[in-house]
Amino acid sequence: MAVTDDYLQYTLEQLAGLGRVITRRMFGAVGLYHEGRFFGLIADDTLYFKVNDSNRGDYEARGMGRFRPYPNKPQLSMTYYEVPADTLEDADECMVWARKSVAVAAAAITGRRPSRPRKNLHPQ
């Protein structure tokens, strides 16, 4: 899952309109974060954006596949879909797709159930 520096830099240039995008290397891939939200990843010089029911159709209509981290286990996939090459090449269109994925990432954070309060192990 190597990511070349050239591809990473190109992708970041295409996402420049989004504002500050933080990258984190992980397991041979690169995670993309905006305002603390994990909205995309790059693996094998391929860009993937986070999806849910609100934007999955955009990817499926273009025949794009899900990110599958384990080649020997194709049944396992994540909620990230490959960004079409022509979308990545058009910075304005790429921004539209990226913003939707940032919104999906934000919804995933706010949609989580709150953690249960801890029991007081030392009552007073």
Give residue-wise pLDDT tens across range 83-122: 999 999 999 999 999 999 999 999 887 655 444 444 444 5
Please state, as a whole number, how many other Cβ atoms lie within 10 Å of the Cβ of residue 81. Answer: 24
Domains located in the chain, CATH noted: 5-110 (3.30.1460.30)
Rounded CA-CA distance 14/65 in Å is 21
Two tokens at 91? 């910075």
Please state, as a whole number, how many other Cβ atoms lie within 10 Å of the Cβ of residue 24. Answer: 11
Q: Would you place residue 66 in the very low, low, confident or very high pLDDT band (cuts 50, 70, 90)?
A: confident
**Residue 81 near residue 16 (C-beta atoms within 8 A):** no
Q: In terms of pTM, does the model score above 0.85?
A: no
Query: In whole numbers, what is the pLDDT of the chain averaged over residues?
Result: 85
Give percent of the chain with pLDDT exceeding 90. Answer: 67
Question: Residue 78's closest CA among 107, 49, 106, 112?
Answer: 49
